[in-house]
């Protein structure tokens, strides 16, 4: 690999060729469609909160795009995860197998239910949960006990497995599903970053009993803040919609609630944004694919590795990322680029290193540690000139 100073400056020059000389964020929202018209329509209707036709329209559009039977809009990707885990019987003192190399929302949602995350390693190429690491962990530490799988060390039930499709790159979710089925563990997918990503012709989030998406302001499409649960299970879908709307029983005027619920529904005004955004999703995906190809050619020319989709997968290329030699090179690259107005970021700090989760069970996390020290995210927005 070339000198990191040279790599940094070459990267700055190339990125500015794509995005211009102004400050270049990592990923910004793009509004070039019917957003203003739909927002005006929503305001004129007086339905701006959790009831309104734009919520239904947005749910239907996500359901159709992902080929899921049901889609339930929520106030955030985190609330979508919380509800998905709850509806799959994750409870006090249960364990949920996930990855340490993830955004904190994954583990926060587990913690909301007083359950504990268990961390297994990721694959180097997908940066998502390794099916081999999952299998090895279960064979060493778990046993099937009737209808459940139990951790032999802690005695707790392992209720669910929650892999994430990191930066929009699909993990080997079919293999993970096979392992979960074998071990009687419920599979839920954190597909927060991967709308528009497919593995073996199936959309991410549709292999498990439930999948969840995020529409935060930095995602490939945004509702300002919001999330979505997708599922093919009608019972789970009905229950999800019920408990996310404070568990209110349908009635023209009476307020009767039949269980503890949550005020987690997506407001209609946010859904209006989503309806306009998903109309442009193909355009966004095409543009981001073009950006990835430019980065791929550029970094190949200077002998820097860029993360790429695995065989049989299509990535939405939400965030492009490169791999540098070591943590020193990573930190220097980030320092130089940010000081030049080009936003770059390291991986998240691994969950197993945060004080809230540092005592959780994990395997060696060898690949996770290696990636955390070397991966750098680079600007991945649709270029301004493409919006015209």
Q: Which of 218, 249, 279 is the last residue of a domain?
A: 279
Q: Which of 238, 262, 279 is the last residue of a domain?
A: 279
Is the same domain home to 162 and 57? yes
pLDDT of 50: 74
The span from the CA of 357 to the CA of 298, in Å, is 39
Is the same domain home to 72 and 214? yes
Q: What is the b/e burial string over 212-229, where b = at least 16 CB atoms within 10 angstroms of the residue's CB?
A: bbbbbebbbbbbebbbbb
What's CA 71's distance to the chain center, in Å? 16
End-to-end alpha carbon distance in the chain: 37
Say if residues 299 and 323 touch (Cβ distance below 8 Å): no
Is the same domain home to 89 and 199? yes
Is the same domain home to 141 and 245? yes
Is the same domain home to 291 and 213? no
pLDDT of 47: 81
Is the same domain home to 196 and 306? no
Is the same domain home to 189 and 252? yes
Nearby residues of 126 by Cβ (< 8 Å), 6 or more positions away? 166, 169, 170, 171, 172, 310
Is the same domain home to 48 and 182? yes
What is the model's pTM?
A: 0.96
Is the same domain home to 360 and 275? no
Q: Which of 244, 260, 279 is the last residue of a domain?
A: 279
Is the same domain home to 294 and 235? no
For the chain, 388 residues long, the average pLDDT of each consecutive 10-residue run is 88 96 93 95 86 93 98 98 97 97 98 98 98 98 94 96 98 98 98 98 98 97 97 98 93 91 95 97 97 98 97 98 97 98 97 97 98 98 74
Number of compact structural domains in the chain: 2
Range of the domain at 61: 35-279
pLDDT of 386: 60
CATH of the domain at 210: 3.40.640.10
Is the same domain home to 316 and 223? no
Match 């809009």 to its residue by tokens. Answer: 73
Q: What is the largest CA-CA distance in the chain?
A: 70
Say if residues 191 and 165 touch (Cβ distance below 8 Å): yes
Is the same domain home to 70 and 212? yes
CATH of the domain at 13: 3.90.1150.10
pLDDT of 387: 58
pLDDT of 2: 61
């Amino acid at each position: 690999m070339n000198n990191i100073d040279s790599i940094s400056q070459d990267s700055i020059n190339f990125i500015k060729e794509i995005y211009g000389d102004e400050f270049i964020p990592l990923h910004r929202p793009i509004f070039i469609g019917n957003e203003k018209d739909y927002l005006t329509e929503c305001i004129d209707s007086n339905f701006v909160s959790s009831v309104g036709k734009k919520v239904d329209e947005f749910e239907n559009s996500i359901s159709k795009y992902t080929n899921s039977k049901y889609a339930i809009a929520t106030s955030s990707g985190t609330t979508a995860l919380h509800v998905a885990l709850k509806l799959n019987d994750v409870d006090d003192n249960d364990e949920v197998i996930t990855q340490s190399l993830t955004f904190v929302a994954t583990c926060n949602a587990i913690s909301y239910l007083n359950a504990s995350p268990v961390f297994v390693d990721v694959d180097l190429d997908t940066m998502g949960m390794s099916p081999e690491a999952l299998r090895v962990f279960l064979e060493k530490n778990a046993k099937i006990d009737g209808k459940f799988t139990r951790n032999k060390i802690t005695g707790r039930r392992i209720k669910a497995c929650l892999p994430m499709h990191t930066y929009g790159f699909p993990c080997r979710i079919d293999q993970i599903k096979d392992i979960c089925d074998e071990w009687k563990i419920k599979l839920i997918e954190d597909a927060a970053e991967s709308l528009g990503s497919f593995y073996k012709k199936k959309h991410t989030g549709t292999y498990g009993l439930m999948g969840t998406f995020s529409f935060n302001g930095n995602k490939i499409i945004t509702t300002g803040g919001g999330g979505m649960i997708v599922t093919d299970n009608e019972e789970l879908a009905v229950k999800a919609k019920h408990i996310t709307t404070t568990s209110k029983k349908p009635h023209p005027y009476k307020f009767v609630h039949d269980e503890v619920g949550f005020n987690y529904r997506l407001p209609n005004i946010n859904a209006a944004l989503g309806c306009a955004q998903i109309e442009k999703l193909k355009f966004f995906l095409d543009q981001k694919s073009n950006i990835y190809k430019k980065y791929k050619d550029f970094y190949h020319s200077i002998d820097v590795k860029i993360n790429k989709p695995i065989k049989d997968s299509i990535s939405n290329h939400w965030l492009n990322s490169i791999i540098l030699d070591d943590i020193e090179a990573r930190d220097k690259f980030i320092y130089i680029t940010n000081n030049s107005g080009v936003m770059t970021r390291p991986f998240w700090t691994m969950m197993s290193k945060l004080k809230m989760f540092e005592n959780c069970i994990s395997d060696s996390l060898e690949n996770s540690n290696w990636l955390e020290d070397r991966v750098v995210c680079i600007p991945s927005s649709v270029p301004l000139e493409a919006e015209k």
